[in-house]
A and B are shown apart, each in its own frame.
Chain A
């Protein structure tokens, strides 16, 4: 069966360090993978999208890698700040068009950045 796995344990890091979150998937061949941020009681907020033919994508302090051989994406936040504390979700869509159809979300990893 298809699975998307994110570390369910909270990740605690010190301010200024780099946070690395992992998303592993099985039995998918996604056209692209997305990362979202979710704060408690609020809707997910889009962060980055990476396509199957891209190895890496950057946006300000964020970096995403996508290894379709390992079936894994890594999400990095450099120079982390307490304001980065949130739950980070990865999401897959196996469709080959860009219409963002039936996104399947992982369970998310909660990041806590301590001052």
Chain B
């Protein structure tokens, strides 16, 4: 069964460093998303991406964040200068146009 894959599964970084989280969405899906979940808290929307551009973004997705689809398969989330409060599990998801999202297993980011 097709699945969304994410790398790395866990990344530890120093505050102020740049981080890139990578995702390979399901191949015939058209919409791509990043969500995050701080430990013990809700899953929160960050950004959605369609037709090579951002379609929606939340207040969390400020200038420190960017997304890119550099080729036909990868979808990346970059955090330019990490802060302690960026420590969370970051989930990539993809969908067709039916509303249901298919999530990856997440990338745990720890900022020291």
A complexed with B: yes
Closest to A97 in B: B97
Main secondary structure of the interface of B (DSSP, over half): strand
Residue ranges of A at the interface with B (Cβ–Cβ < 8 Å): 32, 34, 38, 41-46, 49, 89, 91, 93, 97-108
Closest to B92 in A: A43
A sample of 7 inter-chain contacts (CB < 8 A) reads: A44-B101, A44-B103, A93-B99, A99-B55, A100-B31, A103-B101, A108-B42
How far, in whole Å, are A44 and B104 apart by their CA atoms in the complex? 8
Task: Name which of B42, B93, B106 has the most chain A CB atoms within 10 A of its CB.
Answer: B42
Select one of A38, A44, A103 contacting B45, CB under 8 A. Answer: A103
Q: Is the CB of B102 within 8 A of A46?
A: yes
Q: Is the CB of B44 within 8 A of A49?
A: no
Closest to A108 in B: B42
Asked if B76 is an interface residue, CB under 8 A from chain A, the answer is no
Q: Is the CB of B103 within 8 A of A101?
A: no
Contact flag A99-B50 (CB < 8 Å), given A43-B103, A43-B106: yes
Closest to B6 in A: A43
Q: Is the CB of B42 within 8 A of A106?
A: yes
